């Protein structure tokens, strides 16, 4: 049996800023002001630390609103290069355990601990937490369970700075009273539909018929059924993500505003391209990821005929993919990623 150990860094960008500027520790601040450069106050909060969250400020909030709440906060620009290099150190540290790993995002990693009991996984988690703290200087939270989704849910439950083990025996109790919106990937809209069907808690949802859920929501309904019943056992997908270069931003974007869409995608393509050049890599697959404000996610990829490292071609491809964005919804996160990488010197093919 394999046990999933899910590591999620606490308020990652903000914690990185505290590492860089120790004088900020314990003070209130917000990260996300690179938007100041060209458009005063048009951006949104990328992240903030827990002290700042107490004021009611949160990620994806327009900066202007944060300003209204507290104008004299420290407002910092994002330093993606620093976050990326810190993330890489964390991934390297986790890789040293020798398990298969999946990098879920810049600050979330799932590990598949083969033949590992929950007791042993708990011990390992304590050790991992201590090592990340000692060697990198950052806090994290760890969730342990039999499937990836439950490990992630356990992790969310233990935030910040905690560890939680969720076993087959505990999972039903754990889920019973949770509102349906806490199912991973369920946004407000789907939550409202489930409530209208009479399912306000995950416990109630577990009584639904699989056929009815499938009929109403398709594949997503099947997934909901498995999670609600505590029988979902998603394993990890070993790592395409580590062999890709991506950048994403929390935004408040109306997709119908093409000028705005092109401006943000131009910036992201520029950053991805610069990173690929720095690492001497060519790429062939381009992915655009969009998260709408109902938290549904839209991913569109395209694999080109040739390896490229041109910012113009990348931008053109990304703009092509952006035609598929649903223009009737607001977007709250957008990202560009390149994968199928090959070293420019041709000697270090990654696949």
Residues near Mg ion (CB under 5 A): 8-9, 12, 107
CB of residue 332 to Mg ion, shortest distance in Å? 16
Pairing type for strands 74-76 and 100-105 reads unpaired
Q: Which is nearer to Mg ion, 107 or 234 (CB)?
A: 107
CB of residue 45 to Mg ion, shortest distance in Å? 15
Q: Which is nearer to Mg ion, 50 or 307 (CB)?
A: 50
Residue 108: active-site member:
yes
Annotated catalytic residue within 18, 78, 108, 232: 108
CB of residue 40 to Mg ion, shortest distance in Å? 29
Do residues 224 and 183 lie in contact, with contact meaning Cβ atoms separated by under 8 Å? yes
CB of residue 156 to Mg ion, shortest distance in Å? 9
- Which segments within the chain are labelled E, that is strand? 2-9, 29-31, 47-48, 74-76, 100-105, 108-114, 140-145, 163-165, 245-253, 281-292, 297-308, 331-343
Q: Which is nearer to Mg ion, 156 or 262 (CB)?
A: 156
Tell the burial category of 344 from Cβ atoms under 10 Å away from its Cβ (0-12, 13-18, 19+).
middle
Tell the burial category of 72 from Cβ atoms under 10 Å away from its Cβ (0-12, 13-18, 19+).
exposed
Q: Which is nearer to Mg ion, 159 or 222 (CB)?
A: 159
* 90/163 Cα distance (integer angstroms): 17
Least Cα distance to 78 among 11, 139, 26, 17 occurs for: 17
Tell the burial category of 336 from Cβ atoms under 10 Å away from its Cβ (0-12, 13-18, 19+).
buried
CA 39 to chain centre: 26
Write out the two tokens for 330: 């607001």
Q: Which is nearer to Mg ion, 154 or 261 (CB)?
A: 154
Do residues 208 and 223 lie in contact, with contact meaning Cβ atoms separated by under 8 Å? no
CB of residue 47 to Mg ion, shortest distance in Å? 9
User: What is the gyration radius of the CA atoms in the chain, in angstroms?
Assistant: 21
Q: Which is nearer to Mg ion, 269 or 332 (CB)?
A: 332
* 314/271 Cα distance (integer angstroms): 11
* 111/84 Cα distance (integer angstroms): 19
CB of residue 12 to Mg ion, shortest distance in Å? 5
Which positions are annotated as active-site residues?
108
């Amino acid at each position: 049996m394999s046990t999933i150990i899910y590591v999620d860094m606490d308020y990652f960008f903000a914690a990185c800023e505290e590492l860089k500027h120790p004088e900020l520790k314990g003070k209130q601040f917000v990260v996300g002001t690179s938007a100041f450069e060209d458009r005063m106050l048009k951006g949104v909060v990328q992240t903030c630390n827990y002290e700042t969250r107490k004021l009611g400020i949160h990620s994806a909030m327009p900066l202007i609103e944060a300003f209204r709440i507290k104008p004299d906060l420290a407002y910092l620009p994002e330093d993606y290069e620093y976050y990326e290099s810190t993330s890489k150190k964390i991934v390297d540290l986790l890789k040293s355990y020798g398990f298969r790993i999946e990098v879920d995002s810049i600050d979330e990693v799932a590990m598949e601990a083969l033949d590992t009991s929950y007791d042993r996984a708990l011990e390992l988690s304590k050790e991992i937490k201590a090592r990340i703290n000692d060697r990198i200087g950052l806090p994290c939270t760890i969730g342990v369970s039999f499937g990836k989704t439950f490990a992630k849910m356990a992790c969310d439950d233990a935030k910040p700075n905690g560890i939680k083990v969720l076993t087959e025996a505990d999972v039903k109790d754990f889920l019973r009273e949770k509102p349906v919106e806490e199912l991973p990937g369920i946004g407000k809209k789907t939550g409202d539909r489930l409530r209208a069907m009479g399912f306000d808690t995950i416990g109630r949802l577990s009584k639904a018929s699989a056929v009815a859920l499938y009929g109403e929501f398709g594949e997503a309904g099947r997934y909901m059924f498995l999670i609600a019943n505590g029988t979902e056992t998603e394993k990890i997908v070993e790592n395409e993500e580590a062999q890709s270069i991506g950048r994403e931003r929390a935004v408040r974007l109306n997709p119908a505003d093409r000028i705005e869409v092109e401006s943000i995608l131009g910036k992201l393509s520029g950053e991805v391209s610069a990173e690929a050049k720095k690492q001497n890599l060519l790429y062939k697959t381009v992915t655009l990821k969009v998260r709408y404000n109902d938290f549904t996610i839209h991913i569109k990829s395209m694999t080109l005929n040739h390896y490229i490292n041109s910012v113009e071609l990348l931008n053109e491809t990304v703009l092509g993919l952006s035609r598929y964005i649903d223009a009737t919804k607001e977007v709250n996160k957008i990202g560009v990623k390149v994968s199928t990488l090959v070293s420019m010197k041709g000697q270090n093919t990654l696949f």
